[in-house]
Structure formats: structure tokens, C-alpha cells
């Protein structure tokens, strides 16, 4: 099963949930990323109770220094991600995308 990461998910925001659910409906294992792990877990648990595959991940797009570690963890657990979606549309995930590309290249 291919994995997809959705970032900046905040508990209680319906649009974030709908974006995550759309990925799940497309057959992806959804990695729910949020600055607070409990928020990520709530949304991932909601998807799982609906029969989808989902995992929480604490990720804060304002903490660029953590991106290499997060990218390596994602690569080790899920392989190459099929897609990365930023729920807030801010573009702050660019550094994470670069780290994901570097992690994939290092593993090849």
C-alpha cells in the first residue's frame, strides 16, 4: 500500500479531515502530521474507525532542523511516499520535501 503524508492537520478542522479522508479513499495509508501528536492521533484514529489505514506523526513545519530525522523515519517505515499534501497550503513543507528527496536518494 502506498503512503501519503498530510501536514499541518489540526484537530477539529473539517477541511483537514476531508483532505485526509480523500487520500484514504484513494487507497493510501495516510500519515497524519501535526505539530501536536495528540491532534494527529485523533484524526488518524477517526480514519481508522472508518476502516482506513492511518498513522499519526508529530511534525511541526516551523522546526526545519527536524526534517532530516523525520524524512529518514518516514522512508524507513513507509518507503517512498506517493504524495505529500499541505492542508494549510502555506508552502512551508518545501524543506521537508527536500529532506524526503535526500533521504530517498541516500537509501538508493
So what's the pLDDT on residue 17? Answer: 87
What was the pLDDT predicted at 107? 53
| pLDDT value of position 94 | 81
- All 3 cell numbers of residue 74? 518516514
Which residues, including other chains, have CB under 8 Å from residue 20's CB and lie 6 or more apart?
Answer: 6, 9, 30, 32, 43, 47, 54, 87
- The span from the CA of 2 to the CA of 79, in Å, is 9
Q: For 3-107, which CATH class? A: alpha beta
Low-confidence ranges of the chain (pLDDT < 70): 9-13, 88-90, 103-108
pLDDT at residue 108, as a whole number = 46
- Kindly state the cell numbers that stand for 53: 489505514
Instruction: Give pLDDT, residue 20.
Output: 92
Output helix, strand, coil percentages for the chain, rounded to the nearest 5. Answer: 50, 20, 30
**Considering the entire predicted model, what is its pTM?**
0.87
What is the pLDDT at residue 74? 92
Amino acid at each position: 500500500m502506498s503512503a501519503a503524508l498530510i501536514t499541518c492537520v489540526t484537530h477539529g478542522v473539517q477541511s483537514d479531515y476531508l483532505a485526509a479522508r480523500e487520500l484514504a479513499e484513494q487507497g493510501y495509508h495516510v500519515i497524519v502530521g501535526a505539530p501536536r501528536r495528540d491532534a494527529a492521533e485523533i484524526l488518524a484514529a477517526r480514519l481508522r474507525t472508518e476502516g482506513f489505514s492511518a498513522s499519526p506523526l508529530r511534525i511541526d513545519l516551523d522546526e526545519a532542523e527536524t526534517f532530516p530525522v523525520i524524512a529518514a523515519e518516514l522512508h524507513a517505515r513507509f518507503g517512498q511516499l506517493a504524495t505529500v499534501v499541505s492542508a494549510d497550503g502555506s508552502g512551508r513543507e518545501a524543506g521537508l520535501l527536500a529532506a524526503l528527496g535526500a533521504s530517498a536518494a541516500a537509501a538508493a
